[in-house]
Amino acid sequence: MTTTTTKTMGRRRGAAAIGAALLFLATASLGAHANTDSNDVTALNVFYTTMNHPPQLKNWVSQNGDPCGQSWQGITCSGSRVTAINLPGMSLNGTLGYNMNLLTALVQLDMSNNYLGGSDIPYNLPPNLEKLNLAGNHFTGTTPYSISQMVALKDLNLAHNQLSTISDMFNQLTNLTTMDISFNTFSGNIPQSFNSITSLKTLYLQNNQFSGTIDVLANLPLTDLNVANNQFTGWVPDKLKKIRSLQTTGNSFSNGPAPPPPPATNPTPTPTPTPQRPALPSSNDNNGPSNSGSKHSKLQGGAIAGIVICLLVLGAMFAFFVIKRKSWKLSRGQDPEQKEPLSPLASGFKRKRHCL
Ligand SMILES: *[C@@H]1O[C@H](CO)[C@@H](O)[C@H](O)[C@H]1NC(C)=O
Ligand SMILES: *[C@@H]1O[C@H](CO)[C@@H](O)[C@H](O)[C@H]1NC(C)=O
């Protein structure tokens, strides 16, 4: 045997050993361990427990198990991660799990039309949800802080619960397109951060006890808005009146044209179409009231015109004075150029200051 063949055989043996090890590891992970990510399993075990072990959920268990590999009812997976939980109308009671924040791959959570709640929504919700539907349950209290961190959220439905307080939590929810929080007991003003929901197309606030104005909604791209049966006051903003599907009945809105919004709350002032007075470049015009937005330039133009007219008048007076003086001096036999013509200039300056 040459040293070359020995080396080659050695390499082959090494490669075979590595291959066997990999195969063993793969088999072991398939066999001994479940398909599902262990954090996802933990969260679903707890959830099953907090729902009081509902027997109607096929294949669910409260210890271990394999949600993806054993096709737990209502569970959708991608690879080893749980991506959706869809269990609407399953007569489930109890509440959500307290560690659902472990479900980091979950994009859809639909638990609508069950009997969950009787308490606040647990605050550790899955952080990367695009769709959260807890409508038609018995949740009470305040909307959880974790919703404010769901930057990917597109569809939020908390309708038909007994929620009473909505946090000012929408600053980061710029992808949210549909929100239904109707038929709760929300009161007070619409939170100011609603104006950050720049993708919002559909908004249902009906049948709560919201009060104040709905002005904060004016610049949202809404195509479907229902604010009926609240305690709103003020005017429905003109922009919102153009919405195809708009419901505002059952409030205390004022009728007639809305007053112009105060400048402080109107970030995009539209030019006010005030009738223009005839623009006369008169020096007397300076102190007159100016209605137009170009007040400054108008005032400046007036001042310049006034100065020009003053100078022209002074020039004419000066010329007249000099000519008069010349002819007077000539008539008295004096040289008109002997004395400096300062006095008329000085008096002219005095007059000019007066003029201004
Ligand atoms: C809650 O659900 C469980 C499982 O479905 C059921 O056994 C139990 O009676 C329900 N409890 C109430 C108060 O409805
Ligand atoms: C918001 O939506 C856009 C378009 O669908 C998407 O590209 C983006 O990733 C989303 N943002 C987040 C934080 O998910």
The amino acid occupying position 326 is K
- Ligand 1, residue 91: give the atom nearest the CA: 5
Q: What is the distance in A from the centroid of ligand 2 to the CA of 143? A: 23
Give, using CA atoms, the residue closest to atom 9 of ligand 2: 152
114 touches 136 (CB < 8 A): yes
Tell me the whole-structure pTM to 2 decimals: 0.68
Phi, psi (rounded to 5 degrees) for 82: -80, 120
pLDDT at 256: 73
Strands (E), the chain: 75-78, 81-86, 108-110, 131-133, 140-142, 155-157, 162-165, 178-180, 187-188, 202-204, 209-212, 224-226, 231-232, 245-247
Q: Which residues' Cβ are closer than 6 Å to ligand 2?
A: 151-152, 175
Give the position, in ligand 2's atom list, of the atom nearest the Cα of 130: 14
What's the confidence (pLDDT) of residue 264? 57
Distance CA 139, CA 233 (A): 28
Winning range, highest mean pLDDT, from 189-193, 294-298, 329-333: 189-193
pLDDT at site 319: 55
Question: What's the gap in Å between 326 CA and the centre of ligand 1?
Answer: 119
Residue 291 CB less than 6 A away from ligand 1: no
Give tens-digit pLDDT for 117-176: 999 999 899 999 999 999 999 999 999 999 999 999 999 999 999 999 999 999 999 999
Ligand 2 center to residue 175 CA distance, Å? 6
Measure 267 CA to ligand 1 centroid, in angstroms.
53
Where does residue 59 rank: exposed (0-12), middle (13-18), buried (19+ CB within 10 A)?
A: middle
Nearest ligand by distance to the CA of 55: 1
Percentage, residues of the chain above pLDDT 70: 63
- When pLDDT is averaged across residues 230-243 and rounded to a whole number, the result is 96
Number of Cβ atoms within 10 Å of the Cβ of 214: 25
CA distance linking residue 103 with residue 101, whole number of Å: 5
Q: Do 114 and 87 contact (CB within 8 A), yes or no?
A: yes
Strand partners, 117: 138
Helix axes 342-355, 295-331, angle to 10 degrees: 150
Query: What rounded mean pLDDT belongs to the chain?
Result: 79
- Give yes or no for residue 54 CB within 6 A of ligand 1: yes
Ligand 2 atom closest to the Cα of residue 175 is: 1
Ligand 1 centre to CA of 97 (Å) is 16
